[in-house]
Amino acid sequence: MIERYLTEEMNRIWSDTNKFKKWLLIESLAVKALESINQAPKDLHLAFNSVVIIKEEILKIEETTKHDFIAFIEHITNQQPDLASFIHKGMTSSDVLDTATALILREAGNQIIDRIDKLLYALKSKAIEHKYTKMLGRSHGMYGEPITFGLVLTTFYSEWVRNRERLVRAIENISYGKISGPMGNYTNISPYVEEYILGELGLNIEPISTQIIPRDRHAEFFMILGLLGSSLERLGVEIRNLQQSSVNELSEGFSKGQKGSSAMPHKKNPIGSENICGIARLLRGYVMPVLENVPLWYERDMSHSSVERVVFIDSTGLCDYAIKRMTSIVSNLEVHKDVMEQHIKDSKGVYNSQSMLVGLMGAMMSRDKAYELIQRKVFGGEVLPDQKDYMEYVEHIYTRVYS
């Protein structure tokens, strides 16, 4: 993951420091569990408090072991030899790695939830501000009936409420650990140890695992992030379309000293929304690899590992960054009410075509004849008269969405 698209918060969550801290905690809890069933000396777990994690030393050991977790264990026992006969007893590395990953994904997911909450606040605030800002709706890019810009934003607000609910469920379904040994059948470790560790960590016990936690849990989580990408792109596309020179109803905030183009000084490009639309492609692109991680060989193979080392941090990091940037874009949107009003005036009332159609049908004219009459008038350049108050629905929809 390049630093340009990695937030400070997500960088901390995926740091080696945070990872090693969780590995150490799980191993400490395992020894503590063994103490409670008289399989390890009393208070031996306190030795973990004196362990100092030095990344460079672990990497040096890994050059020989060719196994990052074994290097980690050796690093600990080099400092605390008394732990050597009890650390990682009856466990496999995936017990620790998958359980720690569940903790980290939960942190990353909750970080994204926090971002979503801020985006929801920005959307709602802007929607309330422009509750009655009248503009033309568009269907196939053609003028439709008048709506309000607040209603446009409300459609996105409602979508992100659903996105939040989806991600909360995905976080719940990823919050599972396992401490059940190489085949998941507790051959050399008591189920009590698993219950103790996961209870302390606030994780659920994987009902039946292999050497690893089933990867359908991870696939679901990242499928939701892919969906968040599409929702981000839908909002980004709306802003980009309304910012086109020929439309000019919206524009992203433009700060003092900002430049839109190296060649054309007049331009204010929607670079933020364009950036987010590009990131959305990556978020969706990461979905396929995690889906392909689900069908592993027998009780486990290593083909998923390289994928996860890249996708987990990149996908969560990009999602966090993109939602943060979109929140800033929404908060600083420039809404050109005068242009919106002018487009309504320039439309020659074509937005009234359906109201006139319904009115003529109500006067007992056949639908076909009414349609042909209105179409002839519109294509001939005539102005259609107002038939309906298009603002009467606003209160009803806002009450339904924001109550």
Residues identified as active-site: 140, 261
Nearest Cα to Cα of residue 26 among 209, 199, 267, 147: 199
Distance of CA 334 to the CA centre of its chain: 26
Joined together, the tokens standing for residue 366 give 């056949």
Contact 100, 17 (CB under 8 A): no
CA 196 – CA 32 distance, rounded (Å): 9
Residues 347, 289: Cα–Cα separation, whole Å: 48
Q: Which residues pair with 147 in a beta bridge?
A: 135
List % helix, strand, coil for the chain (3-state, nearest 5). Answer: 65, 5, 30
Query: Which residues, at least 6 apart from 105, have a Cβ–Cβ distance to it below 8 Å?
Result: 171, 174, 218, 221, 312, 316
Q: Which amino acid is present at 348?
A: K
CA angle 21, 3, 256 (to 5 degrees): 130
